[in-house]
Amino acid sequence: MTSQSPNQIKDEIEKANQQAVERMMESDPVWVDIGLACKFLPGLKEKMMLHAGPPIEWDRMSGPVKGAVIGASIYEGWARDEAEAERLAKSGEFAFEPNHHHDAVAPMAGIVTANMPVYVVHDSKYGNKTYSNLNEGIGKVLRYGAYDDEVITRLKWMRDTLAPTLEATMREIKKEKEGISIKPIMAQALGMGDECHNRYMATTALFLKEITPYLMRSGIDKQTMTECFKFLAQNNFSLLNLGMACAKAMTLAAHRIKYSTIVTVLTRNGTDMGVWVSGLDDKWFTAPAPKVKGLWFPGFTDEDANPDLGDSAIMETAGLGSFAVAAAPAVVSWMGGSVDETIQNTERMAQITCARHKYFSIPFLEGQGSPVGIDIRKVVRTGITPTLNTGVAHKKPGIGQVGAGRAITPIEIFKEALKSYAQKYGL
């Protein structure tokens, strides 16, 4: 509680929000390392599974998250098959914790375990370190709840071949500099048609251009080098996970600022959606995860779709994704809608944010910055909630991705956060 007057508190809020958004924009995330999660992630224990979204137990997990848990259990060698994995999960053999509790993020189901490789990002401006796993591609992949032999084989190749190749590349990079600064790549990609959530084509190409000279000097044999380069180049979402770790660094820089009403975490697990607010520390506010409106792969309909899931809304939290979608008119071919709607959406998001980004500019809006700094007060006052660009998982375990589209965040989550804020600060 506080004894300050309403005007004094309002001034404190404005100053805190200005500081939070400034830190979010000025954060300088640099990719500095890669290796097994057990080596890097703070607090990650044996038989612990990190997941997307707010805390959740096995019984309440959605189908795709359960599928990813099953797949991760088999991948780690904790279970021989689906039946044993389910039995172990039900018995409490595995500990489940949100990625965000470990300064990490991962898309869709978001499962991260000890022997999965992760990117390590260092914020050279504010000193934080953040993490994300590697991207498998689209369709039948673990993060969408698939877990057949093809999925497990790919994950093991990524661990045993792709990650060591990128690690050798990073060793060469470190001979010249700290690592690869990702924010300038994202900023350039916005001018080339990406919004850095559902469209990563330019970002991936720019990243590969940056690392190729170091890859070629890494000492990796030609066949392995070619195989890894081809895998990264053919997957238009290769940079999604690394981009998410960078967005997490940006939003983490704005977190735990007294009086700030800025959202610093926005995430979902297919059952619940959750947010953190800077001035409310690590307190979760949750509501049911929303359904997704979008386009479906052949043979699937909205009846097959699970409610929204993934930590990837960290992109919107940092002013990218749906907030910058006016920069990416071609994304409508992947997730539906129209070009006019992309522009309207970015302008609508500006009504619930505190600033226009200094560095993420949108050519189609005459170079204006993307809206950044979601303010829970503005959300509640206007009734406008963040829209999220997203993929869609099948509601049953084992099937995988069925489409892509856009989800609308429920307003109840912001009303509850604002109520808690008022109680904490005596408003």
Query: Does residue 80 contact residue 74 with C-beta atoms inside 8 Å?
Result: yes
Measured at the alpha carbon of residue 35, what is the angle toward residues 32 and 41, in degrees to the nearest 5? 85
Which residues lie closer than 8 Å to 1 by C-beta, 6 or more apart? 424, 425, 426
286: number of Cβ within 10 Å:
22
pLDDT at 187: 98
Q: pLDDT of 96-125, one tens digit each?
A: 999 999 999 999 999 999 999 999 999 999
Domain 6-24+256-425 in CATH 3.90.1700.10? The answer is: yes
The two three-digit tokens of residue 216, written as one number: 């070629």
Query: Does residue 410 contact residue 157 with C-beta atoms inside 8 Å?
Result: no
Positive or negative torsion for Cα 124, 130, 133, 139: negative
Each domain of the chain, given as residue ranges in start order, spans 6-24+256-425, 31-243
The two three-digit tokens of residue 102, written as one number: 């470990």
Query: Does residue 318 contact residue 24 with C-beta atoms inside 8 Å?
Result: yes
Which residues lie closer than 8 Å to 164 by C-beta, 6 or more apart? none
pLDDT at 334: 80
**Binning pLDDT at 50, 70 and 90, where does residue 3 land?**
low
Across the range 194-199, mean pLDDT stands at: 96
Strands 29-36 and 117-123: antiparallel
State the DSSP H helix or E strand holding residue 51, giving kind and residue range, or none if neither. strand 48-51
Across the range 290-298, mean pLDDT stands at: 94
pLDDT at 7: 75
pLDDT at 1: 47
pLDDT-wise least confident of 6-20, 215-229, 379-393: 6-20
- Work out the angle between the directed axes of helices 63-76 and 149-157 (0-180°, nearest 10): 60
**Binning pLDDT at 50, 70 and 90, where does residue 56 land?**
very high
Across the range 72-77, mean pLDDT stands at: 98
* Residue that has been written with the tokens 């279970």 in this structure: 79
Q: pLDDT of 327-375, one tens digit each?
A: 999 998 888 888 889 999 999 999 999 999 999 999 989 999 999 999 9
Beta partners for 389? 406
Q: pLDDT of 304-320, one tens digit each?
A: 999 999 999 999 999 99
Query: Does residue 110 contact residue 99 with C-beta atoms inside 8 Å?
Result: yes
CA dist list (Å): 181 to 3, 185, 332: 44, 8, 29
Within 278-328, strands assigned E span 285-288, 292-296, 309-310
CATH, domain 31-243, list 3.90.1710.10, 3.40.640.10, 3.40.1180.10, 1.10.287.110: 3.90.1710.10
Task: Supply the mean pLDDT for the chain.
Answer: 96
Q: pLDDT of 139-154, one tens digit each?
A: 999 999 999 999 999 9
